[in-house]
């Protein structure tokens, strides 16, 4: 059992003092029947807990695992430069849950501002490391639009390995397929800076559009529009853990 005040704090609804005030001001309801909460220290079972804060429904999650369809023109940074942050597309509690210097969910590997597609966010450090570490070889699938018609030798070079300017060791694609004349499907198991763009440039072509369609066994749902997000299911999280 966990005090309601601590539950609200863990979910990102403010400091413990703020969360206490929300309860005392009658702004919190708990349970499926939306029972008004009156005691900030009321112990509650977090398993399957549903509550409302200022009318907004929230389901308790011990850890946050979120899938977003990243739109173009957004940066994967809490302090963006020229473009809006992807974090502005999320509700406030997801951006502040947990408190402290590392509050909120973090992107599991960044996508460039002009890259679209599947983006996972979480506040689980071990989970993030599992998906981003090259040691674990988690495949990421990219749909690449190129400027010039693809040639067979370009695809073959991507599979054999190309040398990037900051690493003498060749970088190989786990899979590469010419889906169309200007459409390359590329699978990578590591994430270097601008890796897809640099690999394509190394074989004499140029990326005109980039979209991540899958990570591990998880495929971006067709019904999740750019800018939208949803919670990952327990099975999806387990699948990503491997």
Catalytic residues: 112
Decide: 131 and 108 in contact? Cβ < 8 Å: yes
Nearest-angstrom CA–CA distance, 119 and 218: 11
Nearest Cα residue to 94 out of 63, 70, 118, 115: 63
**DSSP type of residue 64:** -
Residue 75 is classified by DSSP as B
> Which residues, other chains included, contact 4 with Cβ-Cβ below 8 Å and sequence gap of 6+?
19, 23, 28, 30, 37, 39, 40, 41, 42, 43, 44
Angle at alpha carbon of residue 175, lines to 235 and 107, rounded to 5°: 45
Query: What is the rounded CA–CA span in Å between residue 51 and residue 59?
Result: 7
d(CA 232, CA 192): 26
Asked whether 40 and 24 are in contact (CB, 8 A), the reply is yes
């Amino acid at each position: 059992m966990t005090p309601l005040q601590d539950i609200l704090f863990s979910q990102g609804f403010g400091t413990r003092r703020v969360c206490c005030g929300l309860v005392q001001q009658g702004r919190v309801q708990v349970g499926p029947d939306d029972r008004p909460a009156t005691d900030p220290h009321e112990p509650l079972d977090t398993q399957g807990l549903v509550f409302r804060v200022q009318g907004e429904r929230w389901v308790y999650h011990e850890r946050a695992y979120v899938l977003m369809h990243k739109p173009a023109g957004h940066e994967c940074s809490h302090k963006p430069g020229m473009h809006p942050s992807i974090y502005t597309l999320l509700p406030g509690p997801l951006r502040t849950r947990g408190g402290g210097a590392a509050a909120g969910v973090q992107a599991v590997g960044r996508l460039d501002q002009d890259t679209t597609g599947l983006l996972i966010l979480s506040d689980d450090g071990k989970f993030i490391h599992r998906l981003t570490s090259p040691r674990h070889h988690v495949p990421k699938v990219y749909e690449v639009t190129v400027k010039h018609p693809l040639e067979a030798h370009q695809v073959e070079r991507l599979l054999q390995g190309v040398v990037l300017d900051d690493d003498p060791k060749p970088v190989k694609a786990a899979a590469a397929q010419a889906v169309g004349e200007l459409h390359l499907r590329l699978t990578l198991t590591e994430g270097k800076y601008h890796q897809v763009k640099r690999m394509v440039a190394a074989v004499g072509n140029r990326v005109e559009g980039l979209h991540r369609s899958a990570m591990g066994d998880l495929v971006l749902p067709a019904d999740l529009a750019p800018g939208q997000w949803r919670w990952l299911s327990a099975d999806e999280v387990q699948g990503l853990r491997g």
